[in-house]
Copies of this chain bind each other. A is one copy, B any other.
Amino acid sequence: MSLATIDVSQHILGKNEALAKELRDLYAKHGICVVNLLSGPGAGKTSTILATIEALKDSYHIAVIEGDIASDVDAQKVKEHGAQAVQINTGGLCHLEGAMIKRATEILDLNQTDLIIIENVGNLVCTVDFDLGESFKAMILSVPEGHDKPLKYPGIFQARNVILLNKIDTLPVFDFDTDAFYREIDDLNPNAQIFPISATKHDGMDAWITYLTQRIEEARSVALSE
């Protein structure tokens, strides 16, 4: 890439960081936990969000910010499951940025929100660099994608402390070496927490939901103590 591009990228990233800080302060003030959910296309972000809403909707007010290149099918599904939903169409852009999240957040009723899940664009590369003011990033890898993905897309696995290994019900069908996957993650990111789940079959969701509940309560208690 030419030097000019890198300069522009740095400028955009710098501006994004300022916006992310502003968003993080706003969320903290309202005691809201925000999850930035990343994965490649078709790894199961939407089904994981729907299963998470199902598990938590009686205890917390949940909102979802849906990032897509095009279409609003996911936002429709989220609304049908009883959560607030805001759709962002990036019009071809491969990731979400702070400015988009700021506009989406202005539409939400923050006094009636405990948890915001941001469904990022399906992309294992471009989404990594953009802070969206989230409490934490979680990434989903699905069994059919293969155990070698940490080796091939190390950036996103290094950056994430929460990894959901989805579609574990299909382990008997695929040549997925679970030991090799855990070993690779341990090399790249020894602090990572891995939650094996099947979002559509509602398997293994308890550990993830317990973890997420802790993070929601943490965000609440910080707001109360201020």
The yes or no answer to A204 lying at the interface (CB within 8 A) is no
Report yes or no: A153 in contact with B73, Cβ–Cβ below 8 A. Answer: no
Q: Which residues 11-47 in A have Cβ within 8 Å of B in the complex?
A: 11-12, 40-42
User: Main secondary structure on chain A at its contact with chain B?
Assistant: loop
Question: Which of the segments A52-60, A107-115, A142-150, A217-225 contacts the partner chain?
Answer: A142-150
Report yes or no: B126 in contact with A126, Cβ–Cβ below 8 A. Answer: yes
Report yes or no: B8 in contact with A152, Cβ–Cβ below 8 A. Answer: no
Pick from B2, B154, B173: contact of A69, CB below 8 A.
B154
Interface size of A by Cβ–Cβ distance < 8 Å?
41
| CB-defined contacts of A69 to chain B, threshold 8 Å | 125, 152-155
Interface centre among A2, A69, A93 (most CB of B within 10 A): A69
| CB-defined contacts of A125 to chain B, threshold 8 Å | 69, 92-94, 121, 123, 126
The yes or no answer to A5 lying at the interface (CB within 8 A) is yes
- Chain A residues engaging chain B, CB cutoff 8 angstroms: 1-2, 4-5, 8, 11-12, 40-42, 68-71, 73, 92-94, 121-126, 142, 144-146, 148-149, 151-155, 167, 170, 173-175, 200
